[in-house]
Amino acid sequence: MFNDLLRRLGLISARATEPEAVVEVKDDLADIPALVQDGRAAEAEARLRACLARDARHVDALHYLGLICHQSGRHLEAVRHIREAARLAPDAAFVYANLAEVLRATGDIGGAEQAVREALRLNPEQPAAQFNLAVVLSARQAHADALEPALRALAANPEWPQALMLAANLYIALDERAKAQELLDRAYALQPDDPATLVTTLRNRAWMCDWRSDRGPGHVNLAPFIAMLERWAKDPRDAAFDSLNPFVAYEYPVSQGLRDAVTQGYAGRMVESVLGGKPPPPYPSPASGRGEKLRVGYVSADFHRHPTMHLMRGLFALHDRSRFEIFAYSMGPDDGSDYRREAVGGVDHFIDIQGETAQQSAERIRKDGIHILVDLKGYTHAARPEIFALRPAPLRVAWLGYPASTGRGINDYAIVDAVSAPPEQQAHWGEQLVRLPHSYQVNDHRQPIAPLTPERSALGLPALERDGKGFVFACFNHLYKIEPRMFAAWMRILARVPGSVLWLYESNAAARDNLRMEATACGIDAERLVFGPTMAKAEHLARLRQAGLMLDTLWINAHTGASDALWAGVPVLTCPQDTFASRVAASLVTAAGLPQLVCGSLEDYEEMAVRLATQPDELRALREHLESQHERLPLFDTPRFARNLERAFEEMWRRQVAGEKPRGFAVEEPGGS
Helix (H, G, I), strand (E, B) or coil at 563: helix
Q: Considering only the top CATH level, what class is 294-445+640-672?
A: alpha beta
Per-residue pLDDT band at 75 (split at 50, 70, 90): confident
Q: What Å distances lie between residue 237 and 234, 245, 276, 357, 640, CA to CA?
A: 9, 14, 14, 22, 44
Nearest to 267 by CA among 379, 373, 375, 358: 379
| pLDDT tens sequence across 539-552 | 999 999 999 999 99
Residue 527 Cα distances to 259, 311, 421, 465, 480, angstroms: 38, 34, 39, 18, 21
Average pLDDT estimate for 359-371:
95
Q: What confidence category does residue 638 fall into, taking pLDDT thresholds of 50, 70 and 90?
A: very high
Q: Which stretches within 276-323 are classed as H helix?
A: 307-312
Q: Which residues pair with 298 in a beta bridge?
A: 328, 374
Q: What proportion of the chain, given as a percentage, has pLDDT over 90?
A: 82
* Per-residue pLDDT reduced to its tens digit, 119-135: 999 999 889 889 989 99
Please give the mean pLDDT across all residues of the chain: 91
Residues 24-51 pLDDT 10s: 334 468 888 888 888 898 999 999 999 9
Rg (CA), the chain: 27
Q: Is the pTM of this model over 0.85?
A: yes
Task: Please determine, for residue 11, whether its predicted confidence score (pLDDT) is greater than 50.
Answer: no
Q: How far is CA 463 from CA 178, 225, 253, 406, in A?
A: 34, 44, 38, 47
> DSSP string covering 432-492, please?
EEEEESS-S----TT----SSPPPGGGGTPPPPPTTSTT-EEEE-S-GGG--HHHHHHHHH
pLDDT at position 140 over 50:
yes
Predicted confidence (pLDDT) per residue in 367-410, tens digit: 999 999 999 999 998 999 999 999 999 999 999 999 999 999 99
One-letter amino acid identity for 210? D
Give 490-538 pLDDT, tens digit per residue.
Answer: 999 999 999 999 999 998 999 999 999 999 999 999 999 999 999 999 9
Query: pLDDT tens, 176-230?
Result: 999 999 999 999 999 999 999 999 999 999 999 999 875 566 678 899 999 999 9
What's the half-sphere exposure (Cβ side, CA atoms, 13 Å) at 522? Answer: 25
Question: pLDDT-based confidence at 73, cuts 50/70/90?
Answer: confident
Q: Does domain 456-636 have CATH number 3.40.50.2000?
A: yes
Q: What residue spans in the chain does CATH classification 3.40.50.11380 cover?
A: 294-445+640-672
The candidate with the shortest Cα–Cα distance to 565, out of 627, 484, 488, is 627
Q: What is the pLDDT of residues 161-172, one digit of tens each?
A: 999 999 999 999
Provide CATH code, domain 2-166: 1.25.40.10
Instruction: Name the nearest CA neighbour of 351 among 397, 281, 299.
Output: 299
**CATH 1.25.40.10 residue spans of the chain:** 2-166
Domain with CATH 3.40.50.2000 in the chain: 456-636
449-494 pLDDT per residue, tens:
999 999 999 999 999 887 779 999 999 999 999 999 999 999 999 9
Give yes or no for residue 20 having a pLDDT over 50: no
Tell me what pLDDT residue 29 has.
Answer: 82
Partner residues linked to 227 by β-bridges = none
Q: Are 552 and 538 in contact (CB under 8 A)?
A: no
What's the mean pLDDT in 220-241? Answer: 93
User: Is 90 exceeded by the pLDDT of residue 261?
Assistant: yes
CA distance 646 to 459: 42
**Distant-in-sequence, close-in-space partners of 51: CB < 8 Å, separation ≥ 6:** 28, 29, 58, 61
129 C-beta neighbours (distance < 10 Å), count: 31
Identify the pLDDT of residue 284. 61
195, 205, 227 from 224: Cα distances, Å: 10, 15, 5
